[in-house]
Amino acid sequence: MSALLDQFINEARDLLEEINAGLLALEEDPANPQTLESLFRAVHTLKGSSGLFEAAPLTEVLHAAEDLLSRIRQGELAGGREVLDDLFAAMDRVESWVGTMEAEGDLPGDAPQVADELGGRIRARMDGPAPEASGGGAEGGAAAEVVGDWPEAFLQAAYAATAGAEAAVALVYTPDAQCFFSGEDPLQLMRSLPQLAALDFAPAEPWADPAAFDPFDCRLRFRAVSTADPEAVREALAYVADQLQLAPVGPAELILPQGEALGNGEFRQFAAKARELLGEGHLQALREAVAELRQATGAEVWEASVLRWLDTVLAQAEPDATAAWALVESLETGKNPVCDDVAAAEELPAGPDAPAAGGGGRSPTLRVDQQKVDQLMDLVGELIVAANGLPYLAEKAESPDTSQEELVRALKEQHSLFDRLAREMQGEVMQVRMLPVSAAFQRFPRLVRDLSRQLDKEARLETSGESTEADKQILDQLGEPLVHVVRNSLDHGLETPEEREAAGKDRCGWIRMSAFPESERIIIQVEDDGRGIDPERVKAKAVERGLISAEEAETLEESQAVALVMQPGFSTAEQISDVSGRGVGMDAVRSMVEDSGGTLSIANRSQGGTCVRMDLPMSMAVTRVLLVEAGAQKFGVPFPNVLETLRVDPTTIHGVKDQRAMSWRGRFIPLVDLAQQLGKTRQPPVEGEWPPVLVARVGAQEVAFLVDDFHSGTDVVVKPLAGCLEGTPGVTGTGVLGDGSVLLVLAMEELV
Amino acid sequence: MPIRFEDDAAYLEEVVSVEEAEELLEWVQDHPGKPLDWSGCDHLHTAVLQVLLALEPPLKGTPRDPFLAAWVAPRLAGPAEEGAAPNAHE
């Protein structure tokens, strides 16, 4: 692969991530100009760089997307959900093509046809007649920009005129001051507007002195609302597009009470009464109550404006209940009403298939801060200088004049220099390998979006602690287990909106992913506010599956029962869904996490829902181990497992048959002979001395290990066991000690 | 002639174009308080509309054109209408 292509692929991936994030943000806030701007730029840049390669189909798709975004950016088109779905689909395809380009250096054979289809679909959106068909509610920002400063009376007239209409367009037309000289007649243009629902005009600035009044200096500004197709409106005004602000608007978006709020308790009392009347459907009584209160309220205040709006809404032949409720609520909150078009949201089509769980077979590359590389370079320079010192040392050693003492001192000096450099370099390299957790989190907003649509659930993803750093390898290995956990939460944890409503919860559930460091570990949690795990069901299933006996089940505490879902062969999903029912249960997740040197725990949150917690090492490259001796051999125990080293009074060790236990910090914990577990024989203890014991954390419990002796702690680079040694029980890997001897590093979990 | 000027009133008829704005302005300035009858009007150019808006001459009648009657007349009512009342019967 050429270096240029290599660079393009890396850049493309970064840009695609940016684009995906931008599209998601756009879904939240369809008219945010900053999002649109950065999204457009990212697509534009990617299109530009793709032109350097023989990838015409890819460029074609991006070009179409760019054009579409450009029109949305200019407010000429609404970015509804269908439009975004097309863009998502296009970007997914581009991403997979980038993968193919990386692997095969070329696009797949069907690329031109696919590009034609995708590009055609996107272009059809642009030529498509009705951008506002995607639902008026989605256009909040754009509409507010156009109608935000309209006078109330006109807004109310416009509301009344559009209340029954399916769609409406609001526009502000400020003709050029000199327009009469180019033969324009703005009033004539307004006359030509199709399906005019409301029209208002006023001088943009007050008239000059009547004596100096110039009728040919056009000062008027027109405001209009039409219930016609926005394209038709646009067409009618095509020649003055540059003097036009135009946005599709839902009737509810016109409800913009104005004025200074009194914030008076009287209105809150009224709101309570109004709720009652509204709830019982006494609209006429409510209108009367509104009229009464209006008389007692100064016309200028904001509350009076809300009341006038309420009256306007109720005066319609078919009053919009949602708007009325929102207005009543705004009397309580003191904020302008937000009328979401819930109905439109429910009519959305099913989402596309969930994106593939994995990253699509990316080859591992690492993007490194230039500064870090520069520091490494400096260290390498020092290392070369230090190495150049060695020949002098050799010469010195050869010389008969050098005393042994002198030589030793020189060697020690040299060693300390090398030692410092090696440590610093190690530190730098570790830093290079550290990545923020956001690298592992970034695919989830999309996953949650697509999955929740697929499952007909409403879910919101919250993330925190994305800047927490962890070793790249750990983060890479974390991706898959996290996907399973989040899928599980969405599929089994969160209820359907109807169930949630029935349970008195918000229709929209949440999933929270958080990361934070804890001593030398990094904790990643996935929580949800769903139904939680039913311990009774879990127990019943575990008994049914033969994982535990019925008697055992009775004695289990809730937390222990919940932990059963991590047992191999456990799955409580009543119906195998295509989301998480792929035969990958929590046991697989657990083994994946444990492969990364972590532990997995799962529990019900006291406030409802579940919490899955992954406790992971921050870095894999170097592990700090405690050296212990058992059966006359040294072993390494990873420090995270070590709780305490102590010597115990043999009389406090109790034995029942061949099980032994000792008391530790007021508790009884099992005592295990480490040498015996490793198939060796313990050295006979020195007469009169208490035997050394290592208390270790093994999974969620503490276990005491009887050992021969303790040695120091040390850092080793742990290499996994390979070849025929692979899978040796009790050993996670090997490290090399300073004296060149090989150290077996223990997997404490497998020794109990 | 789209505007018929008489001593105590002016009549806007059919389509009042941009060319008439200047002349109308002068007449309104020379005949303060005298009404404009626009009941025969089909369209008036924006420049003419500006004259009506800025100088607020009393207006008489309702234009026969529905667009003007629906959207322009209400906007020109208000203060102008009150002034028009005394002169409503020529």
Q: Give yes or no for residue B17 having a pLDDT over 60.
A: yes
Q: Give yes or no for residue A626 having a pLDDT over 80.
A: yes
Using a CB–CB cutoff of 8 Å, tell me whether A392 touches chain B: no
- Partner-chain contact A219 B18, CB within 8 Å: no
**Parallel, antiparallel or unpaired: strands B36-44 and B59-60:** parallel
**Parallel, antiparallel or unpaired: strands A168-173 and A196-203:** unpaired
pLDDT at residue A68, as a whole number: 87
pLDDT at residue B64, as a whole number: 87
Using a CB–CB cutoff of 8 Å, tell me whether A193 touches chain B: no
**Parallel, antiparallel or unpaired: strands A742-746 and A623-630:** unpaired
pLDDT at residue A572, as a whole number: 52
Using a CB–CB cutoff of 8 Å, tell me whether A219 touches chain B: yes
pLDDT at residue A627, as a whole number: 92
**Mean pLDDT, rounded, for A432-437:** 83
Q: Name the residue facing A207 among B22, B54, B71 (closest C-beta).
A: B54
pLDDT at residue A432, as a whole number: 81
Q: What confidence tier does B88 reach under pLDDT thresholds 50, 70, 90? A: very low
pLDDT at residue A307, as a whole number: 85
Q: What is the DSSP string of A515-540?
A: EEEETTEEEEEEEE-S----HHHHHH
Q: Give yes or no for residue A410 having a pLDDT over 60.
A: yes
Using a CB–CB cutoff of 8 Å, tell me whether A186 touches chain B: yes
Closest Cα of chain B to A490: distance in Å? 54
Smallest Cα–Cα separation from A22: which of A60, A79, A101?
A79
Interface of A with B in 411-450 (CB under 8 A): none
Closest Cα of chain A to B28: distance in Å? 11
Answer for the pair A86, A69: CB distance below 8 angstroms, yes or no. no
Q: Tell me the pLDDT tens digit for each residue of A204-216.
A: 877 767 677 888 8
- Partner-chain contact A185 B71, CB within 8 Å: no
3-state percent helix, strand, coil for chain B, nearest multiple of 5: 45, 25, 30
Q: How far apart are CA B11 and CA A421, in angstroms?
A: 100
Smallest Cα–Cα separation from A217: which of B13, B18, B36?
B18
Q: How far apart are CA A268 and CA A256, in angstroms?
A: 19
Q: What's the token pair of residue A663?
A: 């008391």
Q: Tell me the pLDDT tens digit for each residue of A217-226.
A: 888 889 999 8
The helices-and-strands tally (H runs, E runs) of chain A is: 25, 23
Q: What confidence tier does A363 reach under pLDDT thresholds 50, 70, 90? A: low
Answer for the pair B43, B68: CB distance below 8 angstroms, yes or no. yes
A18-22, A473-477, B47-51, B58-62: which range is least confident on average?
Answer: A473-477
Closest Cα of chain B to A258: distance in Å? 21
**Mean pLDDT, rounded, for A542-561:** 85
Average pLDDT, chain A: 81
Q: Contacts of residue B72 in chain A, CB cutoff 8 Å?
A: 187
Q: How far apart are CA A106 and CA A55, in angstroms?
A: 8
Q: How far apart are CA A527 and CA A614, in angstroms?
A: 11
**Mean pLDDT, rounded, for A736-743:** 82
pTM for the model: 0.43
A255-264, A357-366, A637-646, B79-88: which range is least confident on average?
Answer: B79-88
Give me the sign of the Cα torsion angle A137, A142, A147, A149. Answer: positive
A357-361, A464-468, A527-531, A598-602: which range is least confident on average?
Answer: A357-361
Closest Cα of chain B to A167: distance in Å? 21
Complex-level ipTM: 0.84
E-state strands within A204-308: 220-226, 244-249
Q: How far apart are CA A539 and CA A545, in angstroms?
A: 10
Give the residue on A whose Cα is nearest the Cα of B48: A215
Q: Give yes or no for residue A304 having a pLDDT over 80.
A: yes
Rg (CA), chain A: 35
- Partner-chain contact B72 A187, CB within 8 Å: yes
Q: Give yes or no for residue A258 having a pLDDT over 90.
A: no
Answer for the pair A524, A478: CB distance below 8 angstroms, yes or no. yes
Q: Tell me the pLDDT tens digit for each residue of A218-256.
A: 888 899 998 888 788 888 887 787 788 888 888 777 888
Q: Which residue has the higher pLDDT, A745 or A579?
A: A745
Q: Give yes or no for residue A612 having a pLDDT over 90.
A: yes
Q: What is the DSSP string of A603-671?
A: EE-TTSSEEEEEEEES-SS-EEEEEEEETTEEEEEEGGGEEEEEE--GGGEEEETTEEEEEETTEEEEE
**Parallel, antiparallel or unpaired: strands A469-471 and A434-436:** antiparallel
Q: How far apart are CA A470 and CA A482, in angstroms?
A: 15
Using a CB–CB cutoff of 8 Å, tell me whether A164 touches chain B: no
Q: What's the token pair of residue A141?
A: 């920002």
